[in-house]
Amino acid sequence: VPLSRGDWTEEALVVLASDGLAAVAVEPLARRLDATKGSFYWHFANRAELVAATLELWERRATAETIERIEVIADPRERLTALATGAYTRASRGNAYAALLAAASDPPVRALLERVTRTQLEFLERLYLDLDVPADRAPPHARLAYSVYLGISQLRIADPDNEPEGRELLTYLELAVDSIMPPGPAT
């Protein structure tokens, strides 16, 4: 059964998450797929094209996942709770996002990160406006919420052998939710 462009891209995304952007290399990927480098160059002009396709795939997945995880929740406060606790849960799986953050010197990666970040910040700004935060305070609230989201993910990636458990984990996530919850009437 012949390989498709999608087969190469899927495998590249797996490698990106586990070993970083530099590990998205033609020859090792060819070995993983049991093909030759010549096969790769039938589907892609060069490595950069593969990287671009991999970034697009990740972007579509990340966007879709956010929508189905967060946007389906009606109540804005519950959305914030899902966001903070989701940051912790998500970071256990792969770290494509962390890999991308460190490859930020690569122009296509940088462009992707800026797009994603702005989309998330805009989403959060609308959310804080829904929570009756004044218009001039919504952007800073959104920025802090996204910072907390990023930080929770990163901390888990940086030190995966020292994770909180039980009551300590619950308190940590409660504090995280409190830190991004605006003042106002509790539900």
* Distances, alpha carbon 162 to alpha carbons 17, 67, 171, in Å: 21, 31, 16
Interaction between residue 10 and DNA (CB under 7 A): no
Residue 54: C-alpha distances to residues 60, 94, 102 (Å) = 10, 15, 16
Report the nearest approach of a copy of itself to the CB of residue 7 (Å): 23
Kindly state whether residue 152 participates in binding DNA, applying the rule CB under 7 A: no
Residue from 6, 28, 108, 140 that binds a copy of itself (CB under 8 A)? 140
Assess 187 for contact with a copy of itself (CB under 8 A). Answer: no
Q: In angstroms, what is the minimal distance from the CB of 53 to DNA? A: 13
CB of 97 to DNA, least distance (A): 22
DSSP 145-171: HHHHHHHHHHHHHH-TTS---HHHHHH
User: How far apart are the C-alpha atoms of 96 and 9, rounded to whole Å?
Assistant: 14
Residues shown for the chain:
187
Site track for DNA across 20-59, x = CB under 7 A: -----xxxx------xxxxxxxxx-xxxx-----------
Q: Which of residues 165-184 bind a copy of itself (CB under 8 A)?
A: 167-168, 171-172, 174-176, 178-180
Contacts of 26 (CB under 8 A, 6+ apart): 37, 40, 41, 47, 50
Cα distance between residue 56 and residue 62, in whole Å: 10
Return the residues of window 96-135 that contact a copy of itself according to CB under 8 A.
98-105, 113-114, 116-118, 121
Torsion of CA 186, 176, 82, 141, to 10 degrees: 70
- DSSP secondary structure code for residue 182 in this structure: P
Does position 92 bind a copy of itself by CB under 8 A? no
Which residue, 37 or 115, is less far from DNA as judged by CB? 37
Match 């919504």 to its residue by tokens: 138
Positions in the binding site for a copy of itself (CB under 8 A): 18-22, 95, 98-105, 113-114, 116-118, 121, 136-137, 139-141, 143-144, 146-152, 154-155, 157-159, 161-162, 164, 167-168, 171-172, 174-176, 178-180
Contacts with DNA by CB under 7 A lie at: 2-4, 25-28, 35-43, 45-48
